[in-house]
Amino acid sequence: MITRVFRIQVHKEYVNEFEHDYKNISVPLVKSQRGLLSVETGKTLSEGIDEYIMISRWQDIDMLKAFVGESWQKALIPSGMEKYVQQCWVEHYETEQA
């Protein structure tokens, strides 16, 4: 199983708009992919930081690549959502269920 951890820090002036689009564009896009096992999202509890996380779990690396492409080690930002990104990071882990 592959776990993909995506973090994004959003420009403060776009927080409300981002939250709407994250919920209505990004999450449904990921949920619609073959090979996805689960997806979770969250927002940091740290005050003054507008950072969000998406943790997705995939059957294998090939299923992940089928979704994000050969640049799978880079963040996939849906069209139109680039303006929200102050910074973003993505990491991948080979994981097992405990």
- Tens-place pLDDT, residues 38-93: 999 999 999 989 999 999 999 999 999 999 999 999 999 999 999 999 999 999 99
Q: How far is CA 22 from CA 4, 27, 40, 77, 97, in A?
A: 17, 6, 12, 10, 27
Instruction: Check if the beta carbon of residue 2 is closer than 8 Å to that of residue 93.
Output: yes
CATH number of the domain enclosing 78: 3.30.70.100
The SS3 of residue 48 is coil
How many structural domains are present in the chain?
1
Residue 38's domain comprises 2-94
Indicate the pTM of the whole model.
Answer: 0.93
Q: Residue 65 class from Cβ within 10 Å (0-12 exposed, 13-18 middle, 19+ buried)?
A: middle
Q: What is the pLDDT of residues 25-37, one digit of tens each?
A: 999 999 999 999 9
Instruction: Check if the beta carbon of residue 2 is closer than 8 Å to that of residue 95.
Output: yes
